[in-house]
Amino acid sequence: MKLLILYGTTEGQTRKIAHFIEAILHNAGHQVTIADTTDEPPAPKGYDAVLIGSSIHMHKYQSAVKHYIKKHVADLNQIPGAFFSVSLAAASGIEDEHREVQKITTDFLEQTGWKPLMTAQIAGALKYTEYDYFKRLIMKMISKKEGGATDTSQDYEYTKWDEVTKFVNEFANKISHKS
């Protein structure tokens, strides 16, 4: 199958996840095109399925992802799709945070009009070494409240790669049964 993977990222974890997904699908024999939505990503027309991912910052997804989906929503709704949301809230042990991030995803998809077959909440990373002083301080306070990592001299990855693999394989299985 000919698959398209698009992503929007701030610190690079969503890009890393998108490339991990690309490798899984490529190894399964699919023809995969991957693109950052801030570049000039291809239109979904001509692809058999699409996966789009974005990180959440300040309760919002990447504007380039939102713009792409709105621009191509008619074509996106004609092919099987999956949306993966990347956030630190997905790594939280607090159920309210899980509900909040799911609400952000649901609202985003309603606003754009896209109706993917599947969505996934994927834990991101704390990139302390890439943050400016103010953001590092805020992220450290949030992490401390959550009982997470507070040593700002290093980064912390919370992505559960086995869960990403399961999501991708489930999506690949669903689209192979549709064709």
pLDDT at 88 over 90: no
User: What are the backbone angles phi and psi of residue 82, rounded to the nearest 5°?
Assistant: -140, 145
**Axis crossing angle, helix 95-112 with helix 63-76, rounded to the nearest 10:** 60
Q: Which residue has the higher pLDDT, 30 or 97?
A: 30
pLDDT at 81 over 70: yes
Longest dimension (CA), the chain: 50
Task: Kindly list the structural domains of the chain, giving each domain's residue range(s) and its CATH number in brackets, ordered by start.
Answer: 2-124+160-178 (3.40.50.360), 126-158 (no CATH)
Q: Which residue has the higher pLDDT, 78 or 95?
A: 78
Lowest-confidence segment of 35-39, 42-46, 156-160, 173-177 by average pLDDT: 173-177
pLDDT at 114 over 60: yes
Q: Which residue has the higher pLDDT, 146 or 3?
A: 3
Give the Cα separation of 96 and 99 in Å (integer).
5
pLDDT at 179 over 60: no
As a whole number, mean pLDDT of residues 18-31 equals 97
pTM comes to: 0.92
**What is the full DSSP assignment across 73-123?**
HHHHTTS-EEEEEEESGGG-S-HHHHHHHHHHHHHHHHHHT---SEEEEEE
Summarize pLDDT for 31-65 with one digit per residue, the tens. 999 999 999 999 999 999 999 999 998 889 999 99
**HSE-up of residue 21 (Cα within 13 Å, Cβ side):** 34
Name the most confidently modeled range: 13-27, 86-100, 125-139, 143-157. 13-27
